[in-house]
Every structure is written in C-alpha cells, then in structure tokens.
Structure 1
Amino acid sequence: MSGPDGAAPRTLVVVPVYDEEPTIRRLLDEVLAAAPEVDVLVVDDASPDGTGDVVAARPEPAVHLLRRAGKDGLGAAYRAGFAWALAHGYDVVVQMDADLSHPPARLPALLAAVADGADLAIGSRYAPGGGTSGWSRRREVLSRTGNAYVRRVLGLRVHDATAGYRAFRAPLLERVDALGTRSNGYCLQVETTLRAVRAGARVEEVPIVFVERVAGRSKMDVGIVVETLARVTGWGLRDRLARRRAALPRSS
C-alpha cells in the first residue's frame, strides 16, 4: 500500500502506558530499530512512576506523547490514540503493549502483511508458527479456552481474536467506527476483530511468540475477564436472536 500521491504510508505505533517506566526506554529503542520509518505515540494515563516524563525527554521527533488526566482503561487509551492517529493523517495504525511482551522485531512482518493487502494484521500467538514464552500452563489454557469460546460464540475464524499486537489500515478504523467501541479492557481486541470481520475486511494473522513481561505488573485482572465474557456472550446472543428473527416468515 502507499499513502496519498503514491508516497510511502505513514505508520503510527500506539502504545498505552501506566507505570511502565522500567521498560518504556527499551521498547522505544527496539521499535525504532526494527522499523525506523514509523512514528510512536505513547498514551500515558498519568503514570505516577514518571513514565510520561521519560517519553517526553526522548530526543527523536518520531516519538510523541499524549498525556491523559488519569487511568481510564485500555480501551479508552486506544480510542484516544486512534483519534490522534486519524487526526494527524496516518495511513497505518499499530497497537502494541509497552511491556515487551509483543516482540518489536515482528513489527516489519505485521506492516508487510498490510502492505500485501490485509486491512487488519494480527500478531497471533495461536496461528501456525506462533506461541508463548514464560507462561504457566494454567494461563495458556485460560487464553486458549477464551479464544475458543470467542470463535464458537461469535463464529470467527481467527485463531487469536484477543491478541493486542495488531496493525490496521486507517480507513478500516473509520469503517468499523473504532472510536465508537464500548469495551474498556482487552475485550477491545475482540470487539474490533468482530467489527472488522463483519465489515468484510481482509484479516491476516502473523505468527509471534508472546513473551511474559520481565518487569512491572500485569494490568490483567478479574474485571477485565468478566467484561470480556459478558460482552462476548451478549454479542453472541444478539446475533442468534437476529438470525431467528430473520428466519421468521414475513406477514403479508
């Protein structure tokens, strides 16, 4: 793909952060080394550990900082990042965690998938060639079971619908109204995947090895899991009801 007037596409990597000071320097170094052509937007939810100040001190013009008033959830942080990307005319928008679980070295592969025609390229743990490193057996079973539930309930043919490492063509974000999504936590990944598939987008999975964070604390909690189960179940019931209504005979 190319940007306006045949120029190279402008790519923005959106990285939400909250207390990620131990890893943010290395993350920025590795992203810019893997893909020197990209810009990075760090969306900081007023991290008390000074993560935002570390980013603000970076000398690279490709590194941008969006400070928010407080911790308002991953979904809200990504929506703020998407809005910034669209307002600044980027052609490709990447989602990426700050804790180095998403390997920056795989960023070129995601961008290549978009360049080859994908509307959404997902960094997938469960596509052939993907995997995880440093996870307990229990966590892997929970993740795989959750993805199987998403596929079954929503009818998706995506191995890793909950993956948070992904690249969108910017027009797809507008087409699926990504700014109008409602999910607050990691369920955002399922919601945008579902909207993309329903919109007829071309979705490709690029295998990655997801590495357990080496510093800081995971933001995953019971509330995020409950939100995901509740929303996925609700979307599935909604779809089933719509199919039943469509199957009813119409009155003359």
Structure 2
Amino acid sequence: MVVPTYNESENLEWIVGRLRAAQPGVDVLVVDDNSPDGTGDLADRLAAADPAVQVVHRTEKAGLGAAYLHGFDVALRAGYDVIGEMDADGSHQPEQLQRLIDALHTADLVIGSRYVPGGSVVNWPAQRLLLSRGGNLYVRLLLGIRVKDATAGYRLFRRTTLEAIDLGSVRSTGYVFQTDLAYRTVSRGLRLTEVPIEFIERERGDSKMSGQVASESLRMITRWGLSERRRQLRRSRVRA
C-alpha cells in the first residue's frame, strides 16, 4: 500500500499501526516529500521497527500524483502484483480495506467510493461536499465514464492495470491524478469496480486541498473532455 506524506507527523504512526493491525499481510510504502515537520524521520523509525514498512524519500513537494507515480514505480520494480493507495490522514479507514481486496477478484481497479450506495462522508462542510459531488458529476458528463467517485484516493490496482495505462505518459501531478488514472483504466476497456466506504475528514493536521488545486483539476478535466469529444466526432465522420 503506497501512502504519500507531507507534514503528516501527527497521523503517520497512527494510520500505519491501524493498517498493519487490520491487514497484517499488506506491506506499506511511505513516500515522503521532504516534510519539514519530521514525517520522514518518523517513517524511518517505523520502517526500522517493522520489515513490512518501507520508506522512499523525495527531495521536494511535487504533488500527490508525482508521489504516487514514484511509489508505483518502486512497487512494480519490487514485483508486487497488487498495488494500492491511501491517504495518511485517517480519512481512508484501514479496517475497510478488505472490501477493496474482495472486489479485486473480479476487477482490474477497485475504488473505495463515497458516492455509491452505502458510501458516506463524515464531518465535511456542505460546501465541500457539494464541490466534490459536483466535480464528479462534471467528470461523468464531460469524460463519458460511469464512475461515481473518480476523484477518490482509496484504491487497489492490479499490476497489469498499471502497466496497461502507461504511467510513463501521465503528466497530472495534483489531485486530478486520481481522475486521470480512472479515465485511463476505463478507456482501455479494463474493469473498474467501486465499493462503498465511509470517508472521515481528518482530525489532525492541515488538508492539502485548496481552491487552486480544485481549479487546476477542473481545467485539466475540461481539456481531456474536449479532446475526447473531438475524437468521437472524427470517428463518427469516418463511419459516415
């Protein structure tokens, strides 16, 4: 399980402990973007005490997508057949990971979804919930995919899925990275399954989401959607 961190010293030991207790057979890869609060040093101590925990230290904060791409590359090189992602802040509950594991038997990518029946969000203000739901509706309409929670970050990928979606060509580095990989998975005809989770807003530390991040995501999704519509138009002209 790849867990990216930036200034998560208040949460990391707590969430890694819960993950190791809930799923003792799951290895953990912490990818730290040179956190100034000592998260990287804490991760090193956790790794020294537990052989199932590894750490990758990056030299700068380059975005969520960049951290995940680095972590995926390390995991693929290490030979893992299933590679997951989750937040370090406790919003993704390790105790619900088994739901994703069970669903992977018949899927190429499993998303822990807030917006399928049975899913929920705890402690979000109405404005943020509306922004998230609206953003996912925009994704479905513009990109033409049926994913209810394309922006979610609690996921399990098969190795073959990550190889098929061409990670080397991924240029999205922020939160839109999640939508990018979901779109690539569906576009290649792979099986994407959503399972319900309870998403809990962090209790400690600061959220990395901002208006600038949300704006960047909308701009990139709009660009992808317009490109897809142009491709569809060209294909329809060829068939005609």
TM-score (ref. length: structure 1): 0.92
Unaligned runs of at least 5 residues, structure 2 = none
Cross-structure match for 1:219: 208
Q: Which residue of 1 aligns with 2:60?
A: 70
Identity of aligned residues (%): 50
CA offsets, 1:136-175, max 9 Å, x none?
Answer: 1111111100000000001111110000110000110010
On the 8 A contact 1:82/1:179 being kept in 2, the answer is: no
1:52 aligned residue (32, 35, 40): 40
In the aligned structure 1, how far is the partner of 2:40 from the partner of 2:169?
A: 26
User: Which residue in the other structure is 2:150 paired with?
Assistant: 161
Question: Which position in structure 2 is the counterpart of 1:29?
Answer: 17
Number of matched pairs: 238
**1:126 aligns to 2:115 (yes or no):** yes
Offset from partner CA, 1:31-61 (integer Å, 9 cap, x none)? 0111100100000000011111111112010
Quote the residue 2:4 is aligned against: 16
**Structure 1 CA distance for aligned equivalents of residues 175 and 42 of structure 2:** 25
Deviation at 1:196, TM superposition (A): 0.2
The verdict on how the C-alpha distance between 1:221 and 1:248 changes in structure 2, with shifts beyond 3 A counting, is same
- Partners of 1:122 and 1:206 within 8 A in 2: yes
Amino acid in structure 1 at the alignment position of 2:40: G
Q: Is 1:207 the counterpart of 2:208 in the alignment?
A: no
Give the match's secondary structure for 1:132.
strand
Amino acid at match of 1:40: V
Q: Given residue 125 of structure 2, which amino acid in structure 1 is its aligned partner?
A: S
In the alignment, structure 1 residue 186 sits paired with structure 2 residue 179: no
1:39 and 2:27 are equivalent in the alignment: yes
Question: Separation in 2 of the partners of 1:48 and 1:72?
Answer: 14
> Considering only aligned residues, what root-mean-square deviation do their CA atoms show, in Å?
1.2
1:250, distance to aligned residue in structure 2 (A): 8.0
- The answer to whether the 8 A contact 1:162-1:186 is kept is yes
Runs of 4+ off more than 2 Å: 247-251
2:136 to 126, 147, 150: 147
